[in-house]
Amino acid sequence: MITIYTDGTITSNPGGTGRGGWIRVGEDQVHLTKIYSGPTNTNNRMELMGIIDALINQPDDSEITIFTDSQYCVKVFKKPGISSRNRGLVMCLKEAALLHKNVIVKWVRGHDGNKYNEMVDKAIKIRRELKRKKRTEAKRS
């Protein structure tokens, strides 16, 4: 059984720049998705991206438990069919889950001291701050 914690964040909701991330329990490396931005970007989309990226980067036919602090993602995953909001990402999420024997998505309270949830959240925010500083320095040059 593979256990993964995911998260997503955005600079302003909606329309900001964001990314998702995930960590596999037993590893120390947090994996981050690429940066996404645009007027339709939302925190929910970044949360979905973190889960999708985690699923497609595990060996096929795995048994996976994913913990997320997004109640939206848990509801979307458990609901049959495809919701109209974030339709494309929800389809990707459900297709990525089909690569595996079993995928369970569970909710964990965010910012509540859970080691892995905090690691993913912190890594995403640090990376965002580093990118922001780099852009600011480039503008000054």
> How many angstroms separate the CA atoms of 90 and 107, rounded?
17
Domain residue extents for the chain: 2-140
* Residue bearing the bigger pLDDT, 7 or 85: 7
> At 126, phi and psi to the nearest 5?
-65, -45
Q: Would you state the pLDDT for residue 66?
A: 97
CATH classification (class only), 2-140: alpha beta
DSSP secondary structure code for residue 59 in this structure: -
pLDDT at 129 over 80: yes
Region of 81 (left: φ > 0; alpha: ψ -120 to 50; beta: rest) is left
For the question of whether the overall pTM of this predicted structure is more than 0.85, the answer is yes
Q: What is the pLDDT of residue 84?
A: 77
Enumerate helices (H) and strands (E) in the chain, giving the number of each. 4, 6
Give the mean pLDDT of the chain. 90
Task: Give 24-58 pLDDT, tens digit per residue.
Answer: 998 878 898 888 888 888 999 999 999 999 999 99
With a cut of 90, say whether residue 131 has pLDDT above it.
no
Q: Find the DSSP H helices in the chain.
A: 43-56, 71-78, 87-97, 115-140
124: number of Cβ within 10 Å = 24
